[in-house]
Structure 1
């Protein structure tokens, strides 16, 4: 690989805002999509379903377009595709409906609709109909067709090396400190209180963050939990599964790798200085692999002994907690199911869930935790293990000298930090 700086873009979906992150050793590019530019959730006429986006995808024989949607599972009906062919409507073609297998019992599930483009149609937009009569498309909402390239983008010519997809921010998430470190350390973000909004706007103006509106609560009763039988609601975690899949397709023609992890998680290499070095090693050792599973390790919040470990900066008045003080790692119980998060080659993925890929065209590899693991710093944990059952892990401190000046600089630019608030 030619010696160039590693490029990371962060893509976020939220009911208020969306975010992206940046590592101290990486440049970050981020885009912004506003409501006026693109409607991200579109009700499908005469159904209970929602449409999100459409992409060229010719990996399924005789099919050309994949429409990503959220469908009511008990109301699936035949659908028909119709295209705008340079301002002329095409004839309709039958749709193939592929419901994702993971839905955690919720009434609505991520669903792909596959369409074939008719011959001699230079399709730019697509919509779905409940009847084969194309005249009924006149008052339909059309989805622009993305990823329209004559040739598949070669991997070495990808615009970005990594895209970090941060699914829905909700509940007025406002952990500014955790978010900012994640930005510097390469992590996904989502959620919005006023201070975090100010920080995101600052990053957005600099071109580091792509903010994708995700007004799922205007269409459904989204759940704040992962299991319908326990948490109720219409759809899993504010539509998290749909946003992860949408982000993979959005990144397919521009990014070598996509990272799928939560806002409170950092995918951290332990034997390499950065993600690109890690992935070069893993890819050389596993040339047919396109899905890399990273083991989750929880770092519960414990009192930080400054007299033992040395002082860290104090961010008085800045919301959230400093993840640098989360140095106690809980050993996972591998006798029961233990979750992973993902680094994937997007072109190898057709459907994904949160902890595993559902449909793929490449092999999977579980990365050993001494090579790379997730530093998960949740706001709260279900148990509170004593210190003698935890392991000290200060890997994040290896980046402290590069991180802290950038943290100070950005917080000051966003007017969240003054000389009085920093000790």
Structure 2
């Protein structure tokens, strides 16, 4: 019995001891997890206040190391404070680069527009408007009553047609006669536009002078697009008598349907009169190089034309690569180039890219639109140059026996007069191809550079040409006699005072060197058989080699193309 009681007591003791050990384990676990390094998992997002108030564990650090640590912390805080102060001071000293130059006055702003706009100067700030009498049935139009179109055009809508007006020009050349003319360059949506009148505005006039108009069609019907609804190029001419004994010319003109119509357009009459008339200028149609960077080739071309005798090159800009823009601005600052922005009139697209595609797909429309910049270039320079030459940027009129255009024409003009005793309206030069790859033969490929000539000099590198010239009268370019021309086309004059006479300069004297990848579209089928089969090495251009390389290289360096 006693043994049984002892066994029960032992079991009870074991239970107590087990409970004690379990309790001790739980206490140890709680103490460990609430005070040890492993307690982070207990502190979640819902216990953020505990995280912020939890005390760091106690560390028993000896006194001397503690002093050293305190000193280090103090020094670190001092350095941090010093760095923060320095950063604050440096930030306060920073000044962003912004344009702080004085704002241009409205007068200065509008004056800059005069170089790229057909708006009369009377609209500039403090400009002098004609003092029109109160008895006049029509008043001088207000600026914002004008109908503008696509930046550089003005518009006239009449009952049976629409006119888009680009520019107006005073013409009192000797062959005009006793009464001067105003020529207005327009695109109209009719092949036979309805009658219109010119309202001519003079600075001293109390009334506008009313003059009837005459239309000169600047296109040939056989070339296509001869139908209403497609914009056609015209030169509108009206007589512009001098206003008084001082021979005052009109300063602007409005095209209207009836005499007393309120004008929706008012275009400045260009009347440039330089002190001296120079010999040669070059005109280039609207440049449309959306993605092509032709800046290096353009530099070589500009420098060569200047060496040949071109005093200035007038170019028009549709879309150009930024490097081309930079190059032309460089030459514009040097006075060798004048760059004029231009758009297409009416409903034709002007969105970059879309316009480029439109002109590639609509070649006849493109050719018709090109006549606007060509004839604008002619009329802006009626009294500035003896000859204008219409060129593309891959063409050069190259004298063969002479060094300059002036020397060439000094011999050609007497030869033409000896043949027939009258002054020609133009002197044409025949076209010959300097293609990128003649015959596709390794010996005649231009991948291998000519010895002593930098690879970036495209024309100097390309000295193989077709032996055969294109047919006489085909793809020619001309020296146009400014005194005799009424309207010009890419290849020859269209309208003249009297007959558009031309003289063909023989190929031993000059040739139009045309640097292309391939023949033009209509000649592609016969390109191999007529032009690539028979080739000759022609180094005429090398007469200008040393100076041309020097000039082009300097320009490329100035523009940063070698950096």
TM exceeding 0.5: yes
Does residue 83 of structure 1 match 2:204? Answer: no
> Which residue is equivalent to 1:14?
none
The structural deviation recorded for 1:290 is: 3.5
User: Is contact 1:85-1:124 (8 Å) kept?
Assistant: yes
Q: Cα distance 1:399–1:80, how it changes in 2: closer, same or farther (>3 A)? A: same
Residues 63 and 346 (structure 1 numbering): CA distance in 2 closer, same or farther, change over 3 Å? Answer: same
CA deviation after TM superposition for structure 1 residue 225, in Å: 10
1:221 and 1:233 in contact (8 A); partners too: no
Q: Distance in 1 between matches of 2:469 and 2:400?
A: 21
CA distance in structure 1 between the aligned counterparts of 2:346 and 2:337, rounded to whole angstroms = 24
The residue that corresponds to 1:322 in the other structure is 458
Partner residue of 2:296 out of 177, 188, 202: 177
Shift of 1:89: 3.9
Counterpart selection for 2:255 from 105, 111, 128: 128
Instruction: Map residues 153-232 of structure 1 onto 2, 5 A cutoff.
Output: 158-172=276-290, 173-186=292-305, 192-216=320-344, 220-221=348-349, 231-232=361-362
Change in Cα spacing, 1:224 to 1:376, as seen in structure 2 (3 Å) is farther
Q: Deviations over 1:328-386 (max 9, x none)?
A: 21244656862211111111111222212122247310001111011101244334568
* 2:224 corresponds to which of 77, 92, 105: 105
Q: Distance in 2 between matches of 1:337 and 1:225?
A: 30
Question: Where does 1:361-400 land on structure 2 (aligned, <5 Å)?
Answer: 361=497, 363-381=501-519, 382=524, 383-384=527-528, 388-400=533-545
Q: CA 1:409–1:64 in 2, change beyond 3 Å: closer, same or farther? A: same
SS in 2 for 1:49: strand
Q: Which of 380, 405, 408 is the aligned partner of 2:550?
A: 405
CA displacement 1:211-267 (0-9 Å, x = unmatched):
1111226752488799x9x94378334721121112111111011111112111001
Of 73, 81, 90, which residue of structure 1 is paired with 2:190? 73
Residue-pair matches, total: 369
Q: List runs of 5+ in structure 1 lacking aligned partners.
A: 1-32, 316-320, 419-423
Is residue 343 from structure 1 mapped to residue 479 from structure 2 by the alignment? yes
> 1:312 aligned to 453, 460, 464, which one?
453
The CA deviation at 1:171 is: 3.0
Q: Give 1:183 deviation, angstroms.
A: 0.6
Higher relative contact order (CA 8 A, sep 6+): 1
User: Shift in Å at residue 286 of structure 1?
Assistant: 2.6
Q: TM-score, normalised by structure 2?
A: 0.59
Q: Is the CA contact (8 Å cut-off) linking 1:92 and 1:133 kept in structure 2?
A: no
Deviation at 1:70, TM superposition (A): 1.7
Residue by residue over 1:156-188, the C-alpha shift from the partner in whole angstroms, topping out at 9 and shown as x without a partner, is: x74321111111101324212221111111176
Deviates more, 1:51-60 or 1:185-194: 185-194
Q: Which of the two has higher C-alpha Rg?
A: 2
CA–CA separation in structure 1 for the residues paired with 2:337 and 2:468: 33
CA contact under 8 A between 1:90 and 1:118: conserved in structure 2? Answer: no
Provide the residue aligned with 2:169 in structure 1.
55
Q: Which has the higher strand share?
A: 1
Greater shift in the superposed pair: 353-362 or 272-281: 353-362
CA distance in 1: counterparts of 2:303 and 2:363, whole angstroms:
35
Q: What SS does the corresponding residue of 2:545 show, helix, strand or coil?
A: helix
Any conservation in 2 of the 1:48–1:75 contact (CA below 8 Å)? no
| Partner Cα distance (2:551, 2:304) in 1 | 11
Contact kept? 2:286, 2:373, Cα under 8 Å:
yes
Q: CA-to-partner distance for each residue in 1:115-137, whole Å, 9 max, x for gaps? A: 12367374211110122214x02
SS across alignment from 2:330: helix
**Are residues 199 and 402 of structure 1, via their aligned partners in 2, closer, same or farther at CA, if it must alter by over 3 Å?**
same
Structure 1 SS opposite 2:516: coil
Is 1:292 paired with 2:427?
yes
Q: What residue is the counterpart of 2:240 in the other structure?
A: 117
Cα distance in structure 1, aligned partners of 2:496 and 2:490 = 14
- Measured in 1, the distance between the counterparts of 2:238 and 2:344 equals 25
